[in-house]
Amino acid sequence: MPVALSDKENNLTNLQIELLKSLRYTVSDKQLHEIKSLLRLYFIEELDKAIDKTETERNYTAEVYESWLNEKKSGHTGNTSA
């Protein structure tokens, strides 16, 4: 018998709660692996979008990253970000 938890009675995120509601049945190990892969890909794509957005907003280019690496190697700590 499923136990109902209110949002105040647990430490789960809204995503975790929805996943628990959606996946109330047993799946094979293969299906579990596929579900985990889909979730992993989704979050990788979201992270990639967030990085792209930040790079655009801050005008980060390959040259900026290269200069940071060179500063690190030479011991300088100046910030070349916009």
Model pTM score: 0.60
What is the DSSP secondary-structure string of 55-67? HHHTT--HHHHHH
What's the mean pLDDT in 39-57? 97
53-82: per-residue pLDDT in tens? 999 999 999 999 999 999 988 886 655 555
**Domain boundaries of the chain, sorted by first residue:** 10-74
Asked whether the beta carbons of 3 and 10 are under 8 A apart, the reply is no
2-23: per-residue pLDDT in tens? 556 565 567 999 988 888 888 7
